[in-house]
Amino acid sequence: MNRFFRFIIAAWGAKKLGGGCLSTIVIFIIIYMLLGKCGNDNPRAAIPAKPVKAVSINKPVICGYKK
């Protein structure tokens, strides 16, 4: 998730849920961290898959003769 939108959503949630100064800051940090986990910032997703060797299929040999 974009840092700007993550900040805005966390600030709005902390304002709505927080009661005092300290609890608002703690709730902001918790929401900000949780929103950072739900992004598509997975570094493993950027790793390309390994190429696979193509396997050639040979025609079956019947009675020792190739067709």
Is there a contact between 39 and 56 (Cβ–Cβ < 8 Å)?
no
User: 18-65: per-residue pLDDT in tens?
Assistant: 889 999 999 999 999 999 887 555 556 566 777 777 777 776 666 665
Comparison of pLDDT for 66 and 54, the residue scoring more:
54
In the chain, domain spans: 3-43
Task: Give DSSP secondary structure letters for 25-60.
Answer: HHHHHHHHHHHHHTSS--GGGGSPPPP----PPPPP
pLDDT given at position 22:
92
